[in-house]
Each structure stands twice: as C-alpha cells, then as structure tokens.
Amino acid sequence: MTHAQAASRVEVLRRELNRHNYLYYVLDRPEISDAEYDRLMRELEGLEQQFPDLVTADSPTQRVGAAPLEAFGTVTHTIPMLSLKNAMNEEEARAFDQRSRKSLGIAEDIEYVAEPKLDGLAVELVYENGLFVKGSTRGDGYTGEDITQNLRTIRSIPLCLVQKDLLPLPDYLEVRGEVILPLDDFARLNGEREVSGEPLFANPRNAAAGSLRQLDPRITARRPLDIFCYGVGAVRGWDFRDQWDMLHTLPDWGLKVNPLIQRCRDIDEAIAYYREIGGKRDGLAYEIDGVVLKVNSFRLQAELGEISRSPQWAIACKFPPRQETTKLLDIIVQVGRTGALTPVAVLQPVRVSGVEVSRATLHNPGEVARKDVRIGDTVVVQRAGDVIPEVVMPVVAKRSGAERVFAMPGNCPACGAEVDGSEDIWRCTAGISCPAQRKEAIRHFAMRTAMDIDGLGEKIVEQLVEKGLVKDPADLYDLTVEDILTLERMAEKSATNLKNAIDKSRNSTLPRFLFALGIRQVGEHTAKLLAEHFGGIGKIEEATEEELMAVREVGPEVARSIHSFFRQEKNLHVVRRLEAAVRLEAIAPKGEGIFSGLTFVFTGTLPTLSRDEAKRLVETRGGRAASSVSKKTSYVVAGEEAGSKLDDAQRLGVMVIDEARFMEMVGEGAQ
Ligand code: IVH
C-alpha cells in the first residue's frame, strides 16, 4: 500500500470507528459486533504502525496513549464553575420560583429545564476547532486540575466532535458535565478490590473521583466511567438559543446528554418532574441525589445573575438522603485475608431504604478517629445505591457521657501477634500463621472464580484450620476422606464429594491459580494479564519489579507486591507444593485463540459441561464469557431450562447454539 492509499484508508477507518464508538457509548445503539469493531481497530493500528506519520492525537487508537504523570497541572477556568444552592423540599423549590419572578419583576410563569442531579465529579472539556484539547476538574471553581489524559480514556467523550449534516462546528467550546461510575461497575470494582485486599471506595462518587485522579491513565482506562454533559462555559463561533436548545445541540456533536431531561412550562411541571424522578431513582443505573431546575432563557439567566458564587437562575432540589439513625452497640475488629484489620460497627438493626442493616464498615482506624464515633453513640447510617452500609457520623447531641472511645487493639484479635499500625490500614504481622488469615486465604483459594472447590464453605474451612488439618492451601491436596470424616457432622458421602471436588480442582488454569494464591493487589483481572504476559508461573516467580511493570496495567505498587510475595520462603514453599499437586492448562495469549473477539453467554443446564468448565473452554481460547446477554454477545449457548437469557438473545437477534455445536466450535475453531 502506498502512503497516499494508507492515508485515505486511515481517514475512512477513523471516521467509521468514531461513528461506531458514538453509536455504542453515547446512543447505546450499536450497529456492529465487538469483533467487527476490533477488526477495524486492528487494521487502523497496523496502518499507523506502518506509517507512523499518520498517527494523530484524535485517532481512536490514542485514547490511552499517554505515559504516567508526576503530578497534575492546573487549569484556570475561563468562566468560574459555580455551585448550586439547594432546595430540600417542594416548598423550597416553589420559594425559588417566587424569588426569581420577583427579582425579574414578572407575573407570568418561568419556563424551566429540569435535569437529574448526577452524583459524580464535575469536569470541563475544551474543544478547539472540534478537537478535544483539554479537560479539567472543577477544583475550587476557579482553578482545577488538568486531567486531560484521563478524560481521553472515557469512551463517551469524543476526541473530536461530530459534524452533523456537514454544518460548521464552534471554533471554541467549553463543555461542562458530570463524570460518573455506574452502580454495577462500582459494585464490581469494589468486589475486585476486596479480593485483592485493597481499600474499598465508600460510594460511586468517590470511586469516580479516585479514578480520575490517577496519575497513570491506564488505570483510569480500566474504570468504566461515563459522562453526562449539562452546560457550557466560554463558546466562540456558535449561539445557543437557550438551555434546552444547548442540551439538544450537544448530542449532535457527539456529546452525551442525560436522556431524562425535560422542559417544564412552569414550576408545577417542574415539581411533578421532581416527584417522577424521585420515584425512578432506585431503578437508575447510576446515583442521583436530586434534580436541577434551570431557567431556560439565557436572557433571563443573565438578568438573574449570581450571588456569592451561586447562580440565581438554577437550584438543586435534593432528594431525602438514604440515611437512618440507630445505636452503635459495639465496634469489632475483623481480620481479612491480607491481615488488614477493619473496624466494623455492630448496630441495632435498622432498615435503610428497604434493607436491614446491622453491621457497617468503619473502613480504618483513621476514619473512626476522624468521625469521632464512640461505642454507645447514636449514629447516622447510610447506603448509597447498592453499596455496603457505612457510618456517616455520630449524633453528638444525643450523647449521655457514657459513650466509650474506641481504641484499636495492639495485638491481632485472631492470633495475638503484633499489629503494624504504621499505615492507614493496620495489619496483623503474623501472615499465614494467623488463623484468621489462614482461613481467609483458604476460602479465597477455593472461591468459584479461583480454584473452584465446590463444598469447601466457611464452616468446613474453619474446622479444617482449627483441627490443624490444613495450614495452607497446599495441605488441601493431601487431605484424605478419613481426615475429612473427622469433621463434625460429616457423613461418608459428603466427605467423598469434597475429596472429589478437591481433586477436580487439580485441573485448572494459570490465571485462576495466580488469583487463588491471594497475592495482595492481584485480583482476577491482574492475574489474567500476568498469565497472558508470562505464560507460566516460573517466569512470574523470577520476574524483577521492572519486568512485572512491563505488564499492561501493572504499576509499581502491584509489581512490588508480586515481587515480594515470591521472595518469601514460606510462600515459595506453598507454591512449590501446589505446583506439584495441580496441572495448569496453557492459555492462549490474548487475541490469539480461536475465540478471540467473541463473547459467549451460557444459560440453562448443559448436558455435560459445568458452567465453569464451559467458561474455561472459552477463556483458554482467547474468548470472553459474560453473564448477561447484550447486543455485543456473539453466541448464547443454551441448555435445558434456559430462562430469560434465551428470551434476551431472541429479542436482540443473538445467535443461539447448543452444547454440541459449541463443542464442535471448540474442536474446529470458530467461524
Ligand atoms: S449545573 C451553575 N447541572 O452539582 C450551574 N450541575 O453544585 C452549576 N451537578 O458542580 C452546575 N448534575 O457537579 C448542573 N444537571 C446538572 C448537575 C450538576 C450534577 C453537580 C455539579 C456541580 C454541582 C453544583
């Protein structure tokens, strides 16, 4: 291919990829499969590699191009990013309407635009001649942090604006919006952090903020952040008629606007909207904490102006928080798999938005001190979405004087070993010899997503450890049926079943095995990346920190943790014994297996394969096994009593096959 031919092909590919990106991430209406998208992307990557001078900053290949930063720069906002005054109920919203009319000196109704108040992080995006050139946080409203390279990783932020019907674009555009992390992604992220021993995010907003503050954009890229745009700053070369017109023009340029926005003729309609959205709140995929009412006309907005850093033409009507008060009966300390000591509040049971709460995390000792929560306090408890409940604060006015200040124990409550309190998270120093850590390590090893040992539940692990039958995961493979029979209420049949399940887990894969070892900071995802990169456990054991950091998404902290794990004699000893006990199937390097680019969903009972075996067959061949059907699913493999997933597949036009056809594909390669 000549340079000129490549240049025009690159142009076509970019336009196509940008269009499909927009269809998928902004409109949620994809037209092609993941595999087709990947093919276009690979072709573009290939051409850009061959002709490096054709690479441009707005190329879809360049979303995660930048190297980690030392620190963020600062950005001064051309027009300050103000904050909203709150109305706590309908009455206060009506008072806002009255105030506005009075100050405008008008008797007629004011038209409002009503929008959900998204609970995320406010950002500003700058487009020059249609190109995304800078993005920043709100900061103190006047100056924020330059987070351009992190914002570039968010798929719903276009790197270049779309020119609808070939109409000209504004020369200069500052767009404002809220970056959010959807609730299910938030739950998944916290789940991963829990298994890899990292501190949990308290709510999706903190998780979104934490993700945007990463100095390494590769980490941000892994967080499925999204954006909804709701306003503009400085604009040159374009005039919007009013707020409603602006919110309808931004999507024409490829920018995402929340679909729940509504134009309201007067305050009554706006209040009806507030009620309606309040009713929908629990069913939304992301957190909102109210609705925002904005005077639609820009002329009236300008007339109303602003007072003390808040616009007089807009108000946030907040929803009642999902909070309750209850008694804090005690604070106990739990020991996790990595030895982390977590203070947990034991509460008088209370219902918070429909769910009974009797325990709530206090995160870490610093948090207890900062909030000054004492045993015996009346406390405010909250749940944000589906999030683990947390103690917000004590109700100081309700103190009787009998409350007790909590102190962290100097010794591990499970084994009595010394505690290391030199960092935010306190840890038991005994390592695997601490029975609490031992139990957690064994439970982790047996987890469904790790070695998948069926029937090795909490109670059994507890007894195995307490009886001294199992000290580390490798001991599991030496257990005999007779050993198992010594456990309480254990019959011959269940003992044999457990023994069989343990033996079955001897056949596994490298990513599962790596994850099962419970190395701090190594979750399922990192384990997969490590396995794909190194291909064998021996190479990972020997790798230096630098070599580990060469793995995609592995930063210095993770590298240090892996390196130090394999430098500890007691860990190596366990790994050696495990290596002798298990047989690990080789996995196809990413993108090379016969199923690469394909996503499978399994539903119903398959005649011969278990879910995990099926999943393994897909993953070892470079494919992905997902739990729910979407337009991106390549095949649904249906067994007996397949339920709603089969309906979903039929509705979405996804190909449905049976186990026999699936096994043929496994044998022959996917067509
Ligand atoms: S308008 C001057 N619209 O609320 C107008 N803000 O206290 C200021 N927010 O910093 C922003 N959803 O983080 C606006 N639909 C929405 C919003 C929204 C959430 C946040 C935003 C802002 C804060 C204002």
CA dist., res. 428 & res. 411, Å (int): 7
φ/ψ (deg, to 5) at 281: -50, -50
Query: Residue 164 has what DSSP assignment?
Result: G
pLDDT of residue 616: 84
Instruction: Name the residue at shortest CA distance from atom 21 of ligand 1.
Output: 122
Instruction: Say what angle helices 204-212 and 183-195 make with each other, to 10 degrees.
Output: 70
Q: 82: Cβ below 6 Å to ligand 1?
A: yes
Q: Specify the DSSP element, H or E, that contains 341.
A: strand 340-352
pLDDT at 196: 76
Burial class (CB in 10 A: 0-12, 13-18, 19+), 132: buried
Q: For ligand 1, what atom is nearest to the CA of residue 310?
A: 2
512 alpha carbon – ligand 1 mean position (Å):
43
H-assigned helices in 317-420? 365-371
Alpha carbon nearest to ligand 1 atom 13, residue: 122
Residue 361 confidence (pLDDT): 86
Structure tokens, 209:
């903020």
- From the alpha carbon of 122, which atom of ligand 1 is closest? 13
538: phi then psi, degrees, rounded to nearest 5: -60, -45
Which helix (H) or strand (E) segment holds residue 618: the answer is helix 611-619
| Per-position DSSP letters for 533-600, written without gaps between them | HH-SHHHHHH--HHHHHTSTT--HHHHHHHHHHTT-HHHHHHHHHHHHH-EEEP-PPTT-STTTT-EE
* Res 387: pLDDT: 59
Query: Ligand 1: does its nearest atom lie under 6 Å from the Cβ of 292?
Result: yes
3-state secondary structure of 634: coil
The predicted pLDDT at position 142 comes to 92
| Pocket of ligand 1 contains residue 222 by CB under 6 Å | no
pTM assigned to the model:
0.64
- For ligand 1, the distance from its centroid to the CA atom of residue 112, given in whole angstroms, is 15
φ, ψ (nearest 5 deg) of residue 152: -60, -25
Low-confidence ranges of the chain (pLDDT < 50): 386, 670-671
Query: In the prediction, which pLDDT does 69 show?
Result: 84
Query: Which of 77, 81, 82, 84 to probe ligand 1 with, by most ligand atoms within 8 A of CB?
Result: 84
Domains of the chain with CATH codes:
3-62 (1.10.287.610), 86-318 (3.30.470.30), 323-405 (2.40.50.140), 431-505 (1.10.150.20), 509-585 (1.10.150.20), 599-670 (3.40.50.10190)
The alpha carbon of 669 and the centre of ligand 1 are apart by a number of angstroms equal to 51
Residues acting as catalytic residues: 117
Which helix H or strand E contains 427, and what residues bound it? strand 426-428
CB 479 within 8 A of CB 502: yes
Say how many Å lie between the CA of residue 178 and the centre of ligand 1. Answer: 7
φ, ψ for residue 8, nearest 5 deg: -75, -35
Instruction: Report the separation in Å between the CA atom of 367 and the middle of ligand 1, taken as the mean of its atom positions.
Output: 28
Cβ atoms of 398 and 378 within 8 Å: the answer is: yes
Ligand 1: residue of 230, 232, 244, 287 to mutate (most ligand atoms within 8 A of CB) is 230
* Closest ligand 1 atom to Cα of 306: 2
Q: 176 C-alpha to center of ligand 1: Å?
A: 9
- The predicted pLDDT at position 353 comes to 65
Give the Å distance between the CA of 177 and the centre of ligand 1: 8
Q: Which residues pair with 333 in a beta bridge?
A: 343
Residue 191 amino acid letter: G
Spacing, Cα 117 to ligand 1 middle (Å): 7
Here the tokens at position 543 are: 């790798």
State residue 269's pLDDT score: 98
Ligand 1 nearest atom to the CA of residue 119, by list position: 19
Q: Which atom of ligand 1 is nearest to the CA of 84?
A: 7
273 and 114 Cβ atoms separated by less than 8 Å: yes
Provide the residue type at 385 as one letter.
Answer: G
Q: Which helix (H) or strand (E) holds 392?
A: strand 390-394
Whether 575 is in the pocket of ligand 1, judged by its Cβ within 6 Å, is no
Query: Position of tokens 């002329």?
Result: 299
pLDDT for the residue numbered 589:
58
Atom of ligand 1 minimally distant from the CA of 117? 12
Residue 115 CB less than 6 A away from ligand 1: yes
- Is 230 close to ligand 1, i.e. is its CB under 6 Å away? yes
What span, in angstroms and rounded, lies between the C-alpha atoms of 450 and 584? 13
Q: Ligand 1 in contact with 290 (CB < 6 A)? A: no
CB 274 within 8 A of CB 90: yes
CA of 288 to the centre of ligand 1 (A): 11
Ligand 1 contacts CB of residue 260 (under 6 A): no
Alpha-carbon span 138 to 120, nearest angstrom: 12
Q: Which of 115, 117, 179, 205 to mutate to test the pocket of ligand 1 (most atoms within 8 A of CB)?
A: 117
Q: What is the pLDDT of residues 50-104, one digit of tens each?
A: 999 999 988 999 888 677 788 899 999 999 999 999 999 999 999 999 999 999 9
Helices 267-280/90-104 angle, 10° precision: 150
Nearest CA to ligand 1 atom 18: 117
Using a CB cutoff of 8 Å and minimum separation of 24, what contacts does 437-440 make? 437/335, 437/336, 437/337, 437/338, 437/339, 438/465, 438/470, 438/471, 438/472, 439/465, 440/335, 440/336, 440/337
Whether the CB of 601 sits within 6 Å of ligand 1: no
Q: Give distance in angstroms: CA of 79 to centre of ligand 1.
A: 15
Residue nearest to atom 24 of ligand 1 (CA): 83
**Residue 669 has what DSSP assignment?**
-
* Ligand 1 within 6 A of CB of 313: no
117 lines ligand 1 (CB under 6 A): yes
